[in-house]
Amino acid sequence: MSAREWWATKLRESDQLKHSIAGAGAGLVASVVTCPLDVVKTRLQNQGLLVPTGKSYKGTAGTLTKIWSEEGIRGLYRGLGPTIFGYLPTWAIYFTAYDYFKDLVARKTGHHDSNWFVHNIVAAMAAGATSTTITNPLWVIKTRFMTQNEHTPYRYNNTLHAFVTIYKVEGMRGFYKGLGSSLMGISHVALQFPLYEKLRFWLKSADTDQVSSTNILIASSVSKMAASVATYPHEVIRTRLQNQSTYPPKYHGIIHAVKVIYHEEGVRAFYRGMPTNLLRTVPSSALTILTYELIVGRLNDIATKPA
């Protein structure tokens, strides 16, 4: 049996394998392309913690320029390693779990059109909780890498060094800082993916029952933008909690963080970095979902076409 025949057999046997491969590939492409904007967004979100007496970064362009002048190209790609390590399993787990939970919920409740949107919301939330819980340690490390500079109390040389250092200094709890606020972000995918599915359904061709690449980009961009604007404050809270490496911590949980940030910095702090986030996540999400759809299509071709 040739390698192609072996892959075709495996892909025919397992839809989960197709979704895992497609999700991982989509995450890899998106993480590399959007890393500089991810660094900018994370620095802006964390600014209240890094520079309590004044602003260090001002806007997307100003932050990009400052990082470039002070740290060079490496500064713009700081944290790319853990980002890739994070996105690969995150999207692979998410898309696989999303497809699994959609089928599971539909089987348990019956295929009723009136429940279609509810099915997708439940599947999105279950898949989001699964991927978030499993990969949280990688996102803690990614956030630390993207914000470390002369002001931060931690300094990591690489991903492995960060894992070892966090475990020695903070224990296992250090890897799950910000998990509560990350799980709050399930509301993000609970809005994004069902909305994407609905838009995708509306935009598919009546003649071929297929969705063009352009319409996939439109559906994914609109759904991501709506979800990002609606749920953004939890990202700021998560970033602040994940960056706490000293004792005693400044923020004692989600509620305390909300109160302190609001008291010290006002409502605007909860939306710090949002323009950069939209500039990063909307094309990133569109690219991720388009790549995912294209890879799934290609894998389906491999599984069905004769060698």
* Helix and strand totals (H; E) in the chain: 13, 0
For position 112, what pLDDT does the model report? 57
Q: Is the Cα torsion angle 152, 154, 157, 162 positive or negative in sign?
A: negative
3-state secondary structure of 14: coil
> Can you tell me the distance from the alpha carbon of 180 to that of 167, in angstroms, rounded to the nearest whole number?
19
In the chain, where the domains are located? 3-304
Q: Secondary structure of 152-219 in the HEC alphabet?
A: CCCCCCCHHHHHHHHHHHHCHHHHHCCHHHHHHCHHHHHHHHHHHHHHHHHHCCCCCCCCCHHHHHHH
For position 152, what pLDDT does the model report? 78
CA-based end-to-end distance of the chain: 10
For position 306, what pLDDT does the model report? 61
**Looking up tokens 């839809």, which residue turns up?**
15
Read off the tokens for 137. Answer: 């340690």
For position 115, what pLDDT does the model report? 65
State the CATH architecture for 3-304. Answer: Alpha/alpha barrel (1.50)
> Can you tell me the distance from the alpha carbon of 20 to that of 80, in angstroms, rounded to the nearest whole number?
21
Instruction: Give mean pLDDT in consecutive 10-residue pieces for the chain, a chain of 307 residues.
Output: 67 72 82 87 77 66 91 90 80 84 82 67 89 91 86 84 94 92 85 88 80 88 91 91 85 93 94 89 83 86 72
| CB 80, CB 32: distance < 8 Å | yes
> Can you tell me the distance from the alpha carbon of 123 to that of 128, in angstroms, rounded to the nearest whole number?
8
Residue 195's identity, in one-letter code, is L
